[in-house]
Amino acid sequence: MKLTDKASEPPSCLQPPIFMIGRDSRGNWVAQEQSGARGGLFVDRAGALKFAKSENGNHPHAVVWVSDILELNAGSSPLLSERRQEDSASIRLRRVA
């Protein structure tokens, strides 16, 4: 039996999501899934880490610490241009108002 046997590897769907943790430009702690699907702002580092671990099945190895500024992406798809994101945000504001 080979050590690199594909049958012995777990499916990718069983791997925990990767969360990035860092600080935004205002000094808030940010935890966000690498895909951008989940995340939040936190008062302290411990809160961000607790959230990330609870969301990824308590897998500490699925957390990446970011030394640069990490801004929470709460908008639409990251593939959209900045102009398109601004247009989407103004449409949402108009609907609320």
32: part of which helix (H) or strand (E)?
strand 29-33
Indicate yes or no: pTM above 0.75.
Answer: no
Domain residue spans of the chain: 15-96
Q: Tens digit of pLDDT per residue, the chain (97 long)?
A: 455 555 555 555 567 789 999 999 999 999 999 888 899 999 999 999 999 999 988 887 889 999 999 999 876 433 333 444 455 454 444 444 4
Count of H-run helices and E-run strands, the chain: 2, 4
